[in-house]
Copies of this chain bind each other. A is one copy, B any other.
Amino acid sequence: MGSLPVSFDPLNIKTFATESKEVIDFIASYYKNVENYPVRSQVEPGFLLNMHPKTAPPQPTSLEIILQDIQADIIPGITHWQSPNFFAYYPATVSNAGFHGEMLCTALNIVGFNWICSPAATELEMIVMNWLGQMLDLPQSFLFTGKGGGVMGGSTSEALICVLAAARDRALEQFGEDSITKLVVYASDQTHFVVHKAAKLIGIPPKNFRVIGTSLSTCFALAPNVVQTTIEQDLESGLVPFFLCATVGATPSGSIDPVEKLGLLSKNYGLWLHIEAAYAGSAFICPEFRQHLEGIEYADSLSMNLHKWFLTNMDCSCLWVKNPTVLLDSLSTTAEILRNEASESKKVVDFVDWQVSTSKRFRALKLWFVLRRYGVHNLMKHIRSDIELAKHFEALVKSDNSFEVVVPVKFSLVCFRLKPKKEEREESLKVLNWKLMEAVNSSGRAYMTHAVLGDIFVIRCAIGTSLTEERHVSELWKLIQEKTQVILKVRPELESD
């Protein structure tokens, strides 16, 4: 077990099962203990760099030693996204089925850029993208059974690069190649920075990226009339509006842009409308949340990250488009090395032409595993139970007069803060809430991150890691209250209000 082979045999079929089961036991033990580790790693910069040998080992090390080293040296440097007390950023959910699907994907290790490279990989991807599209009640126009289709990738960034490039090339076709410096992208100040980054990557000058302000009055949703005014101003300046990103469930606040109104606007002005639903998209498999996608028939594309809330482990990102031809016009190649009879028959889909990379993992197998192993009803139950936990936390916050919930909770993200006292300025309130958050985080007992909405600093409690139960949420609240006592003691003037 874990002993070294005499001849070098990297895929050693004889030892594969035994060794792999040792690793499985290690992982099982990690999950059993993860609750006991400090959630946010408490190491100092350089902890591992300073400890590690400067050169790669010339000779092999046994599996046992490596696993021991992971336990001793690596685990303390991990911020435990799988801890039930992880409430930072967003939940990166895992599951037995997600893990099993990923194991099979890694073991078969096919590279599915073309249909012929593994017909099952391409067709299963079409199947699960249709299945999930139906679960989300997407219009037929987004599915392979209509005239659209979907593709799986590693990140929203990749999806955005694809749709932005497709929209850009469509605009350049119309307005001429030189117009690239005139193209304008619209998004809100709640929009994830990857949209800005992707727009810059595809050559849109950063000054042509319109970050449209939002406010508490609309729960930080984009106001269509403001978007319209901005578009009109740009048109008057001789610029070319071409792309609007609506976010449904934004990272900072969970805000929901009004899809239908923005869709009509996009239609009027000839903009490509993309719906970015990286986090909240998974919720729309429940009919009671599907309303937030109403009007999607006016959109051109939709992306979401299943590796956030859909139990697929990293990574698993989905993109649906209504008009694959425009995408393929931008991304297709005619490279001789790819030529094969199946592709030339035009009877198959070759996903290399739908995505940035040629490398393509068999992620479809993982999603298929999750969908089949759990079934739609359980997946809905999973979404609803996280939202119930968020409501539970929201109620706890509301029950305490020192606090306020800043944005009404729609999904499983709660944005709250120690609330302002009379005439207290946002800046000092921000310092106070940062201190509270840091006090919680440095305790190692929970981890939350922050956002600034307008000028309001909020602590974000993002609920839903796979191991989080009601007791963890209740414990989190107790911890917050405990730390609040300490914080407020050093700011006694705030207690007297």
Asked if A337 is an interface residue, CB under 8 A from chain B, the answer is yes
Kindly provide the distance from the CB of A418 to the nearest chain B CB, expressed in whole angstroms.
19
Q: Contacts A27-B16, A58-B375, A375-B60: A197 and B110 contacting too (C-beta < 8 A)?
A: no
Q: Which residues of B contact A78 (CB under 8 A)?
A: 108, 110, 118, 120-121
Decide if A118 touches B79 in the complex (CB within 8 Å): yes
When the two chains form the complex, which single residue of B58, B111, B347 contacts A81, counting CB atoms closer than 8 Å? Answer: B111
Q: How far is the CA of A487 from the CA of B156 in the complex (A)?
A: 49
Closest to A82 in B: B109
Q: How far is the CA of A322 from the CA of B305 in the complex (A)?
A: 33
Decide if B56 touches A132 in the complex (CB within 8 Å): yes
Kindly provide the distance from the CB of A160 to the nearest chain B CB, expressed in whole angstroms.
10
Binds B, one of A220-228, A292-300, A357-365, A391-399: A357-365
Closest to A358 in B: B194
Q: How far is the CA of A105 from the CA of B40 in the complex (A)?
A: 18
Asked if A485 is an interface residue, CB under 8 A from chain B, the answer is no
Binds B, one of A199-207, A234-242, A261-269: A199-207
Number of A interface residues at 8 Å Cβ cutoff, please give it. Answer: 160
Decide if B11 touches A94 in the complex (CB within 8 Å): yes
Decide if A56 touches B134 in the complex (CB within 8 Å): yes
When the two chains form the complex, which single residue of B15, B49, B92 contacts A126, counting CB atoms closer than 8 Å? Answer: B49
What are the 4 tightest A-B residue pairs by CB atom distance, in nearest-first order? A203-B203, A77-B120, A10-B95, A155-B357
Asked if A471 is an interface residue, CB under 8 A from chain B, the answer is no
When the two chains form the complex, which single residue of B124, B251, B450 contacts A74, counting CB atoms closer than 8 Å? Answer: B124
Q: How far is the CA of A203 from the CA of B78 in the complex (A)?
A: 38
Report 28 cross-chain contacts, Cβ distance below 8 Å, ordered by A residue.
Answer: A10-B95, A10-B382, A13-B32, A16-B99, A17-B25, A17-B28, A27-B104, A30-B107, A43-B120, A56-B376, A60-B374, A66-B369, A70-B365, A81-B110, A82-B107, A99-B103, A103-B106, A154-B357, A158-B356, A178-B181, A192-B358, A194-B358, A201-B201, A203-B203, A305-B359, A307-B359, A336-B452, A340-B449
Asked if A131 is an interface residue, CB under 8 A from chain B, the answer is yes
